[in-house]
Amino acid sequence: MKDALIKAAMVVVAALAAGASAPSRAQDAAAPAEGKALFLKNCAACHQASGKGIPGAFPALAGNSFVQGKGAEVATVLLKGRGGMPDFSDSLSDHEIATILSFVRSNWGNRATPLSESEVLALRDTLQVDHFSNGQMSNKH
pLDDT digit string, tens, across residues 9-51: 344 334 434 443 444 434 455 678 999 999 999 999 999 999 9
Give me the phi and psi of 82, to 5 degrees please. Answer: -170, 130
- Of the pLDDT bands very low, low, confident and very high (cuts 50, 70, 90), residue 141 is very low
What Rg value do the Cα atoms of the chain yield, rounded? 19
Instruction: Give me the pLDDT at residue 14, please.
Output: 42
- Of the pLDDT bands very low, low, confident and very high (cuts 50, 70, 90), residue 95 is very high
Mean local confidence (pLDDT), 109-137: 89
DSSP, collapsed to helix, strand or coil, labels residue 82 as strand
Chain segment 126-140, per-residue pLDDT in tens: 999 999 887 544 444
- Quote the pTM value: 0.75
Instruction: Give me the pLDDT at residue 135, please.
Output: 59
List Cβ neighbours of 42 (8 Å cut-off, separation of 6 or more): 88, 91, 92, 96, 100
Give the side-chain half-sphere CA count within 13 A for 91.
11
Residue 45: in which H helix or E strand, if any?
helix 44-47
* Residue 7 clears pLDDT 60, i.e. is over it: no
